[in-house]
Structure 1
Amino acid sequence: MTSLMSRRLLREIPQLQVLSSRAGHSHGPPLPLTKVDIGKREVVGYGSNGEITYIDSVMSPFPAIRFKEDAGEISKLREKEKGDWKKLTLAEKKALYRASFCQTLVEVEAPTGEWKSIAGIAMFLVSMGVWGYMWIKWNVYKELPHTITDEENVKAQIERMIALRVAPIEGFSSNYDYEKGEWKK
Structure 2
Amino acid sequence: MANLLLRRALLDAVRVPVCARASSSVGELAKIGNREWVGYGFNGQPNYVDRPDFPMPAIRFRGETPDVKVLREKEKGDWRKLTLEEKKALYRASFCQTFAEFPAPTGEWKGVVGWSPVFASLAVWIYMGMKLFVYSPLPESLNEENQKAQLRRMLDLKMNPVDGLASKWDYENNRWK
Tell me which interval the TM-score lies in, with the shorter structure as reference length: 0.5 to 0.7
Structure number having the greater strand percentage: 1
Q: After superposing the two structures, state which structure 1 stretch, 167-176 or 71-80, moved more.
A: 167-176
Which of 117, 120, 124 is residue 111 of structure 2 equivalent to? 117
Structure-2 change in CA distance of 1:71 and 1:121 (3 Å): closer
Equivalence map 1:1-185=2 (5 Å): 37-127=31-121, 148=144, 159-178=152-171, 180=172, 182-183=174-175, 185=177
Identity %: 50
Answer yes or no: is the 8 Å Cα contact 2:46–2:59 preserved in 1: yes
Answer yes or no: is the 8 Å Cα contact 1:43–1:66 preserved in 2: yes
How far apart, CA to CA, are the structure 1 residues paired with 2:37 and 2:147?
84
Which residue identity does 1:164 align to in structure 2?
Answer: L
Per the normalisation by structure 1, the TM-score is 0.58
Deviation for aligned residue 1:97: 0.8
How far apart, CA to CA, are the structure 2 residues paired with 1:127 and 1:90?
53
Answer yes or no: is the 8 Å Cα contact 1:36–1:53 preserved in 2: no
Deviation for aligned residue 1:104: 1.8
Which residue identity does 2:83 align to in structure 1?
Answer: T
The alignment covers a number of residue pairs equal to 149
Which residue identity does 2:144 align to in structure 1?
Answer: I
3-state SS of the aligned residue for 1:108? coil
Q: After superposing the two structures, state which structure 1 stretch, 96-105 or 108-117, moved more.
A: 108-117
How far apart, CA to CA, are the structure 2 residues paired with 1:73 and 1:61?
25
Gaps of 5+ in 2: 1-9, 18-28, 138-142
User: How much is the aligned-residue C-alpha RMSD, in angstroms?
Assistant: 3.9
Structure-2 change in CA distance of 1:183 and 1:105 (3 Å): same
Deviation for aligned residue 1:15: 8.1
How far apart, CA to CA, are the structure 2 residues paired with 1:77 and 1:103?
19
Per the normalisation by structure 2, the TM-score is 0.60
Partner of 2:140: none
Deviation for aligned residue 1:42: 2.3
